[in-house]
Amino acid sequence: MIRRFFMRTAARLQSFMYGRYILFGGFDKFSLLLFILGLAASFFGSLFGRGLPAILLAALSLLMYFYLIFRLFSKNISARRRENELFLSVLRKIKSPFTLFKNRIKDRKTHIYRKCPHCKAVLRLPKKKGKNSVICPRCRERFYVKSIFR
């Protein structure tokens, strides 16, 4: 009797979980962001006591968690993956000036970074003394780079 109950519950759970995003790596970076934002909102909300900011932050926190749960149990895997990709591309855009700065420092002895005067792409060029001609790999225009140092 009890055994049958458990078997049936397990089977129901299994069919409920079938095809849900959580089984396809659903706890992705975007889910993590929602989780952290939800946690942060409820934490900061608790600092405000009972006023309007506390209510707004509590609502925001709930919203984050609802959306997180919605994502994890969603069956539309491709839409959830697109969401995550979109989030990652926004994140890359935010991070790119920092990454560029970090790389510039890292290979300052071997490479220089120059902006293409035609298409404004930032190019990483091997360091060579004197005036060197460069063909931009993006727009195929030629320009010159002067370097005093080797």
DSSP state of 124: E
Smallest Cα–Cα separation from 121: which of 134, 108, 130? 134
Tell me the window of 39-47, 51-59, 84-92, 133-141 that interacts with Zn ion (CB under 5 A). Answer: 133-141
Three-class DSSP category at 120: coil
User: Counting contacts by CB under 5 A, is residue 115 touching Zn ion?
Assistant: no
Identify the helix (H) or strand (E) that includes residue 28.
none
- Residue 22 CA neighbour count, 13 Å, CB half: 10
Three-class DSSP category at 141: coil
Q: Estimate the crossing angle of helix 77-106 against helix 29-47, to 10 degrees.
A: 80
Among 12, 82, 118, 128, binds Zn ion (CB under 5 A): 118
Tell me the window of 9-17, 58-66, 67-75, 108-116 that interacts with Zn ion (CB under 5 A). Answer: 108-116
CB of 129 to Zn ion, least distance (A): 23
Rounded to whole angstroms, the Cα distance separating 101 from 86 reads: 24
Among 119, 122, 125, 135, binds Zn ion (CB under 5 A): 119
User: Counting contacts by CB under 5 A, is residue 138 touching Zn ion?
Assistant: yes
User: Counting contacts by CB under 5 A, is residue 116 touching Zn ion?
Assistant: yes
User: Counting contacts by CB under 5 A, is residue 139 touching Zn ion?
Assistant: yes
User: Counting contacts by CB under 5 A, is residue 129 touching Zn ion?
Assistant: no
Contacts with Zn ion, residue ranges (CB under 5 A): 116, 118-119, 121, 136, 138-139
